[in-house]
Every structure is written in C-alpha cells, then in structure tokens.
Structure 1
Amino acid sequence: MTKIDLREDEKEATAQPAELPRERRETGGGVAQATVAALQSMIRDGRLRPGDLLPPQRDLARDLNVSRATLREALSILATIGEIVAREGGRGFVCADPSGAPATPSWRFAARYSLSEVYQFRYIVESYAAELAALTHTEQEIADLKECTAAFRKAARENNLVAYAQADFDFHNLIMRISRNKLLVDMHQTFASVLLESQRLPIERRGNLLIAVQEHDRLLEAIAIGDPEGANYYMRKHISMAGSRAGLPPSQLP
C-alpha cells in the first residue's frame, strides 16, 4: 500500500511567499478546503468508517480529481483537527473514532521549528503589526477586517473547523498588510503554511470557539479607533491565549 507521507509539506514551509489572492479569502481556502469537505463527506456517509485505513494517496487524488499536493494539504488539515489519525510508524492514516478520546494533534513542522518558537515569532511580529495597523488603516481596511471577523464568527457557530482556521489566518494576514511594513508582510507570507498550521492546532481541543472570536473583536475595536497601545496589548494577549489553546505549557508561552 502506498504510504501517505506529509513530510514534503515541511519542505514547502518557506516556499510560498505569494499573497493570498482575494478569491481564496472569499471562498475560505479554495481547492484544499473543497477536498477536505469531500473527505469529510466520505467519512460522514460511511464510505470511510472509524478505524478504516485511507486509500492510497494516488487513488484518492485521482478519485477526487485533485493534485497530490492538494490532497496532502487536505490530509494535513484533517489530521490536525482530529478526523484522521496517523498510524504508528507513519504508514498512512486511519479514520478517527469520534466516540474515543481525541487524538493529540501532531505538529508537522517539528523538524524545522518548535511550536513555542512559532508562537514567540507571532507574538513579536503580529503585535507590532497590530500597533502599526492602528495608525495606518483606511476605512475600507476596517471593513475588510470586519468581514473576516464575520466569517470567523459564522464558522465558529457552525462548528466548521476548516473555515474557522482559514478565517483566523486571513484576519491576521490582513493586519500584517495594513501595517504597511513590507518586510513584515513578506515574512508572514513566506511562512504562511507554518503559521496557518499553528492556527489550526487550537481548534483540535474543540473548546468554545467563540472565545477567539471575542478576542478578535477587541483587537479590531482597538485598531478601528486608532489605539496602537491597545492593539499591541490585545494582539499579545490573543497570541498568548492561542498558544495555550494549542497545548503549550505556561513555561513556553510568549
């Protein structure tokens, strides 16, 4: 049986500097998310049952009419949110048992960066970006942030974990762009796959998804009223809380 190997994603961690296109933000993740939805449908209608080994990667990609790179991304999302579980030794994935204890999500970029390093990076970079955004935003950019927040809230209420993580990422990515600091923007886009994965981990715990939405609300308000100190504070607090929700112990929180 063909081994489903996500290690190639680690090689792609710094290979995606392009800005997220508008259509991707509007559709909530494009082809990868549609692939996730198709796989979730297979799980929910019984074509893939708890404990079943997923078909070989080449067969799944062919059946779903997607590239293997897209399939790898979809499988990574499902693994992160706990709907599939890696077999011991990395020999593919099986469907998780929803009645059992939730699996511990794996941090797939561990060979490159620790999760605590990623949250430390986000804490420093994104808090300063939020401060700059409070000073430089336009009315249209505030409207765009509100649109992202609305999508985030909608995904939380519908328990749509894939759309939830994407809306979270889009909100933070937009703040980076509003900062007008091109180096910060380039850094955020270069490590987009790593940062997005860090934003998927907290949702595996399936707590109250609206808590993070409320944190976004406070951050957006500070930016909208032009309060740079408040924006910096609420972003730092949000990143630290997100790190805790992702499973970082207090000693490793930024």
Structure 2
Amino acid sequence: MPTRTRQVANDDREPANPLISIETDLEPGLATGQHTHPDHLIAWSATATVSVRTGTRDWLVPPTHALWIPARLPHTTEVRRPGRGYAVIVARDEPSRTWPEPTGLLVTPLIRELVIHLDRHPDPLAVPLLLSLLDPVPSTTFHVPLPTDDRIRAIADALLADPADQRDLTAWAHATNTGVRTVTRLFAAETGMTFARWRTLVRIRAALTHLAGGASVGATARAVGYRKPGAFAETFHRVTGHHPGVYRTG
C-alpha cells in the first residue's frame, strides 16, 4: 500500500477549550510528517489502525485502545488500516488527570460512547469524567523501542513490515553483513531486550490489528508467524495479560 505523506505544521496556538472530540475518516496509506500539538491529544481509531512514532518508540493503536500524546511532543503518524478515528483534544493546562509521557489506554464501551457523544455535543463538564475513566495498559501492548544503529534498524524495519518473517538471528546478521555477536549486543544496548524478546513484542503488537479487524485467533497466529495457535495464545497472554479473544472484534 503506497504511503502518502501529509505535512502538518507545528502549532503553538493557545490551549483549546477543556475538551473537544473531532471525528475524521482515516484513509489507507496516509502519513504525516513530524509535528506537534499545542494541547494533549487522545488518539483513538474507532475502526482504523494507526501507528505513531515518538522519537525512538513506535506505537500501534488498534480500535480497542487509544494513545495519550502529551502536548508539544514531536511525533509522526501513519494509517495502517483505514477507518474512522477520533482526536480528543485536552487543554494542556487541564488540572485533572494527565500523563507526561505517551500512554496506552484501554477503550471500554463507556469511553467509546462518551467520545462519540462529545464529538456531537461538546461538554467541558465531561473532562473529569472522561479522564477518570481512562485506564492505562502495559506499554508493551502498544510500542516497541526502535534501535538507531543502521545495521539493526534495517532488521527492525523489515520485521515491523513483516512480523511473520521466520529468519533467525544468524540469517539476519548475514543479510546485514554483521556478526551475530554484534547484532546481539546492539539489540540489547539499544532496545533493552534480546532480539527474540523484541521480535515477540512486534508480533504480539501486530496481532492486535488482525484481531481488531475480526480475524480468528488461528488466522492471526499464522499472520504474525506462529505455526500453532496454542503457542501464540500462550505468548499473547504472557505479554498482555489477556487471551487474544478479548481483543477480537467483528
């Protein structure tokens, strides 16, 4: 799918009203250049899947979740799966519950209906209610750290594009003309985890998109590189704390 980049200017406007929910259609392949927002943003893709890059972290936001983006944080976005999305803007001087770093949030049915309602009927009094309902989830559900060294960044980008790639560490080292020990050392130094652990997180994160799109657990397992659904389900539960069926919609 071709990627179309949309340039978004950095915005230093005054803070917004206490809370605004904006509905938008997210087209496939749409991407933005690096930009910032003057206010906090809750990015929720009701039926789409969007990736957000913030510095050295790559986040995936499936319909089951939202991402809290702090005010003035440089980031880029890319639509991985088209659909409908919402941007909930929270003024940066909002005194109630906020987070200083990007934070994954679970979107419950109540939060979903509240966001949709606020798009049609803005209500500043809903700020404390919405923020009080937001429940952070383990960050591993959402993002994987991105290495900066060109040698292992090539490996990382390839696996992000195709999580089902079965090549082992030796094959990846050969493909990048790098020694196995060097790749092992660089992954640990730049991501804080082993290559195997990093690839597992990439696969589980990618699985969220398939499950949110209605794919079965078995089909999702195969799509992200697991030959046995049972092994996939066990790994998924270990990483997220839930059975993959919890994230399946459609």
The interval holding the TM-score normalised by the smaller chain is: under 0.3
> TM-score, normalised on structure 2?
0.28
Q: Which gives a bigger RCO, structure 1 or 2 (Cα 8 Å, sep 6+)?
A: 1
